[in-house]
Amino acid sequence: EVKLLESGGGLVQPGGSLRLSCAASGFTFTDFYMSWIRQPPGKAPEWLGVIRNKANGYTTEYNPSVKGRFTISRDNTQNILYLQMNTLRAEDTAIYYCGNSFDYWGQGVMVTVSS
C-alpha cells in the first residue's frame, strides 16, 4: 500500500524558513517522480515543483512563483522527500501535499506564515 506522510508544517513568521518532509512507503521510491503542490484554504491547488526519478537523474523543475525560494530534494536511502522553503511570505500560507507522480497524495500539512 502506497503511503505518503508529510510533516514539518506549522506557524512561521514572515521571512522565516521551514522544511517539510514526506515519508514514502509501499513503492520503489527511486522509480518515481515526486511532486509538491499546495492549496490555500478555499482555493485551487498550485503545483510547486517536481524532482525526477533515478532514471532521469533526480533533476528538478519549479513553478516560477517559488523558484529561488523553495528547493525540492530527496533522500533515496530513507525514502524521504523534502521541501525547503525560505523567505516565507503570508501568501505561502496553505496546505502542502507531496505526491507520487499524480497517483497518490499525502494527507497534507498546514503551513501558516504570520507574525
**Interface residues toward another protein, by CB under 8 A:** 37, 43-47, 50, 61-65, 97, 102-103, 105-108
50: three-class secondary structure by DSSP = strand
What is the Cα–Cα distance from 23 to 41, expressed in whole angstroms? 24
Work out how close the CB of 65 gets to another protein at its nearest, in angstroms, rounded to a whole number.
Answer: 8
Q: Helices in 1-48 by DSSP H: which ranges?
A: none
Nearer to another protein, 10 or 45 (CB): 45
Q: Which is nearer to another protein, 65 or 78 (CB)?
A: 65
| Residue 51 parent element (H or E) | strand 46-51
Q: Which residue, 98 or 113, is less far from another protein as judged by CB? A: 98
Report d(CA 76, CA 67) in Å as an integer.
Answer: 23
Least distance to another protein from the beta carbon of 97, Å?
6
Whole-angstrom distance, CA of residue 37 vs CA of residue 81: 13
CB of 105 to another protein, least distance (A): 4
For the CB of residue 60, give the shortest distance to another protein in the complex, in Å: 10
